[in-house]
């Protein structure tokens, strides 16, 4: 699942691999945030200050490495 905000003030859109449609997060009552991250920082729900770095997310780092390898081909 991926959440995407068009601007910093907009509500995020949700792209879910289990659904064929993209919807705004407020329409998805079944979702519970675990954490949020961007290219640098990591946040826990309800906390305004960053709680770590996105480099702590092993699966995210693995995806970035895979993309770099594919670009080099």
CATH number at residue 23: 3.10.620.30
Evaluate if pTM is beyond 0.85. Answer: no
**Model confidence over 4-22: pLDDT tens digits?**
888 878 888 999 888 888 9
Looking at the predicted structure, is the pLDDT value of residue 70 above 90? Answer: yes
Give the chain's domain count: 1
Which comes out higher in pLDDT, residue 46 or 69?
69
Q: For residue 64, what are the domain limits?
A: 2-72
DSSP-derived secondary structure for 12-70 = PEEE-TT-SSEEEGGG-TT-----EE-SSEEE-TT--S--EEGGG-HHHHHHHHHHHHH
> Which long-range contacts link 47-56 to residues 24+ away (Cβ below 8 Å)?
none
């Amino acid at each position: 699942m991926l959440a995407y905000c068009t601007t910093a003030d907009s509500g995020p859109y949700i792209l879910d691999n289990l659904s064929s449609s993209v919807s705004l997060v407020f329409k998805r009552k079944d979702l519970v945030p675990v954490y949020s991250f961007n290219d640098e920082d990591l946040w826990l729900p309800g906390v305004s200050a960053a709680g770590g770095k996105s480099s702590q997310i092993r699966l995210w780092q693995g995806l970035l490495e895979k993309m770099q390898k594919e670009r080099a081909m």
